[in-house]
Structure formats: structure tokens, C-alpha cells
Amino acid sequence: MSAALEVGQVVAERTYTLTRDSLVRYAGASGDFNPIHYRDDFAQSVGLPGAIAHGMLTMATAIQPVVDWLEGDSGPGAGAWVSDYQVRFTRPIAVDAETGAELVVSAKIGQLDAEAKSARVDLTVTFAGQTVLGKAQVRVAWA
């Protein structure tokens, strides 16, 4: 796998639209029914711009392009798996009741280690032109 990859190579890019429906579905799946995720008035009362996306929903959405790349039948990601994933939450994502929120994800190779048969994939995750996840890194490994 590493022979087909190089540092700086973009391996996946995707844009996702989070909606209030997304928040409701995630709340049901996760059990996180904090009203900051569905009530603008409550979110604003605690200093947020409005209802915000769950952090773990943002994190899961951000890694999806990498997972799709790894699950491909061919290409340099095929046959590899995620061995570690870490992010730092830097900014909330306000999900407008009518228009939702567009999350833009770009994944590029940040480091290759042929001996360890692994790579670090750096994610750039933005909403409204601003980074929402800092130091978002996915470690992938292959046999």
C-alpha cells in the first residue's frame, strides 16, 4: 500500500449536509438528548449560536471519507483499516433549522511509515469556512 501513497496526497474529499433530522436521528442512536442539540432557545441561553451538532456526530462524519477510501475494492487504501482516530473539538457547528450545516472534509496523507505498515491521514474539517476539528488525525494500518 505505501508504495502507491505519498505525503501530501489527498485521498478523500467530501461535503456533508447536517440537518436537524440528522441531529434527531443521532440523539436517538446515541441517547444524547441534551437540548443544545435541538432547541435554539436553550442553546442560545447557554451562549451558543443555536442548536449545534453533537461532537461525536461531527467526528463520525469527518472520518467517513477515510472509511470509504479504505473500503474501496482497489486503489492504495484497499485492505487497510483504522487503527487510531483522534480529534480536538475547536468550534461548534450551528445547524440551521431550514438550511442545515455544510461540513467539508478533506483527507490527506500526513506521514508514511513503511516499516510499521501505517500512515497518518490528516483531516481538514470546516464549517462556514472555519476549522471545526483541530489536530484531526487518523492512523491507518495494513497487513
For CA atoms 120, 125, 129, 130, give the dihedral sign.
Answer: negative
CATH number at residue 42: 3.10.129.10
pLDDT tens figures, 54-85? 999 999 999 999 999 998 766 666 778 999 99
What are the angstrom distances between the C-alpha of 102 and each of 20, 30, 45, 89, 90? 12, 22, 24, 17, 16
What is the per-residue pLDDT across 91-140, written as a single tens digit (0 to 9) for each? 999 999 999 999 999 999 999 999 999 999 999 999 999 999 999 999 99
Amino acid at 119: A
Cβ pair 22, 95 in contact under 8 A: yes
- What is the spatial distance between Cα 6 and Cα 60, in angstroms, rounded to a whole number? 25
- pTM of the full predicted structure? 0.91
User: What is the number of structural domains in the chain?
Assistant: 1
Give the domain range for residue 46.
Answer: 2-141
